[in-house]
Amino acid sequence: MRIALVNDTAVALEALKRVLATAPTHTVAWCARNGEEAVRRAALDRPDLILMDLLMPGINGVEATRRIMATTPCPILVVTASVGSRSALVYEALGAGALDAIRTPSLVAPAAQAGADLLQRIRRLERLTRPLTSPAASATPPLVAIGSSTGGPAALVRCLGQLPVDLGAAVLVAQHIEAQFAPGLARWLNDQIPLPVQIVHEGDPLQSGVVQLAATNHHIVLKPDGRLGYSPEPRQEPYRPSVDALFRSLLQPWLKPGHAVLLTGMGRDGGQGLLDLRRAGWHTIAQDEDSCAVYGMPKTAVELGGAIEVLPPEAIGRRLRSLIAPRRSPQQLPRQQEAAP
């Protein structure tokens, strides 16, 4: 297990290194002396686990956890000098995405004794997170992620109306809309397009052949366990649910690149996220200017170089249909394909 250490104290870093050295299956991926460095290093080299201190110069462990989980999510264990006296910060870190918290081992005691609790906690987290790299990936259907805002409902109908009911992919939609109006939008879309539309609830899995619509004033994200959920972060984001937050949550190391679409909307939300997905190997499409109610979000994506293709909504739907193989039973396969060796 590759483990990163984030701590501004040399003594604490040495204690952590000594403990990990007693376990032959663990190696130190990298060390960071502050939160800013941790965020940068995690983006360049995502470890299997981060041991995160709380009190550091610059941004603290809570904010570093929040930023890492928003950009390059990975398991984080808070390791601090005193869990009890810093309970408020510990709870903040857990709310930001950390999985657990434990006291920093001491250099005074023998390494095996001082680190017994830490190694036991790491083993527990390893059991919890191991499925994220294989079963979650194998159980996750191909994914289409769509972001939209002003004029989005009509554009969604024009795009999604081109997709068949036997589509072999899950369709995840983040439309800027107040939570109270989301159920009505889901019902309206259900009446307009072939695919069924469902509201996303915390913990829902991705479902092949279903349009799953965000429905709270928090941001919809794909979590490291492969299930959908909602996050208040980033709090400063005025657009909810944020398309950028959704797109960035899809940068999971186990998730096979899919297809991402940015439709009409005011502002810049989704432009950077679409670029990040393109760089990660996703097929990215932005709506063209002539068909947009407001050419803001797609324009940002095009200017940043985040869109591989720029198309009107109906053409986006047809393009997605051509890129995604529909689910077919053996009885539905062409006769010549059935006879092929």
pLDDT class for 341, splitting at 50, 70, 90? very low
The pLDDT value recorded for residue 109 is 55
| pLDDT value at 221 more than 60 | yes
Residue 337 pLDDT > 50: no
With CA atoms as reference, report the closest residue to 104 among 11, 21, 4: 11
Report the range of poorest mean pLDDT among 45-59, 135-149, 246-260.
Answer: 135-149
DSSP state of 104: P
Say which residue, 26 or 146, is predicted with more confidence.
Answer: 146
Instruction: Reply yes or no on domain 2-133 having CATH 3.40.50.2300.
Output: yes
As a whole number, mean pLDDT of residues 252-261 equals 89
Mean pLDDT for the chain overall: 86
Q: Where in the sequence of the chain do the CATH 3.40.50.180 domains occur? A: 135-323
CA-based nearest residue to 69, from 306, 245, 256, 260: 245
Kindly state the average pLDDT of the residues 271-289.
93
210-234 average pLDDT score:
89
> What pLDDT does 85 receive?
65
What's residue 138's pLDDT?
58
Look at 34-38, 86-90, 276-280, 311-315 and tell me which has the smallest mean pLDDT. 86-90
Average of per-residue pLDDT across 182-186: 93
Using the predicted structure, report yes or no on whether residue 340 has a pLDDT greater than 60. no
pLDDT for residue 98:
85
Q: Which of 117-121, 201-205, 215-219, 326-330 has the lowest average pLDDT?
A: 326-330
Note the pLDDT of residue 335: 38
Residues 95, 51: Cα–Cα separation, whole Å = 16
Residue 287 has pLDDT above 90, yes or no: yes
Residue 134 has pLDDT above 80, yes or no: no
Q: What is the pLDDT of residues 46-73, one digit of tens each?
A: 898 999 999 999 999 999 998 998 778 8
| Start-end of CATH 3.40.50.2300 domains in the chain | 2-133
Helix or strand (DSSP H, E) at 88: helix 87-96
Q: Which fold has domain 135-323?
A: Rossmann fold (3.40.50)
Whether 19 has a pLDDT exceeding 60, the answer reads: yes
In sequence order, which residues have a C-beta less than 8 Å from that of residue 307 and are 6 or more positions away? 262, 274, 278, 284, 285, 286, 298, 301
| Dist CA 263 CA 295 (whole Å) | 9
Catalytic residues: 149, 176, 269
Q: Across the strands, what pairs with 145?
A: 172, 260
User: What pLDDT is stored for residue 83 in this prediction?
Assistant: 66
Q: Once rounded to an integer, what is the mean pLDDT over residues 292-315?
A: 95
Q: What is the reported pLDDT for 112?
A: 53
Give the separation between CA 177 and CA 268, rounded to whole angstroms: 16
Higher pLDDT, 110 or 249: 249
Give the residue among 133, 132, 111, 130 at the shortest CA–CA distance from 122.
130
CA distances from 65 to 3, 38, 51, 100, 239 (A): 15, 9, 10, 12, 22
Q: What does DSSP say about strands 228-231 and 219-222: parallel, antiparallel, or unpaired?
A: antiparallel
Which long-range contacts (C-beta less than 8 Å, at least 24 apart) are formed by 189-197?
Answer: 189/153, 189/156, 189/157, 189/160, 189/213, 192/157, 192/161, 193/156, 193/157, 193/160, 193/161, 193/163, 194/161, 194/163, 194/164, 194/165, 195/160, 195/163, 195/165, 195/167, 195/171
Render pLDDT for 109-125 as a digit per residue (tens, 0 to 9): 554 565 888 998 898 88
Q: Which residues have CB under 8 Å from 88's CB, separation 6+? A: none
How far apart (Å, rounded) are the C-alpha atoms in residues 35 and 56?
A: 7
Length of the chain equals 341
Report residue 107's pLDDT band, with 50, 70 and 90 as the boundaries: low
By mean pLDDT, which of 21-25, 139-143, 232-236 is the weakest? 232-236
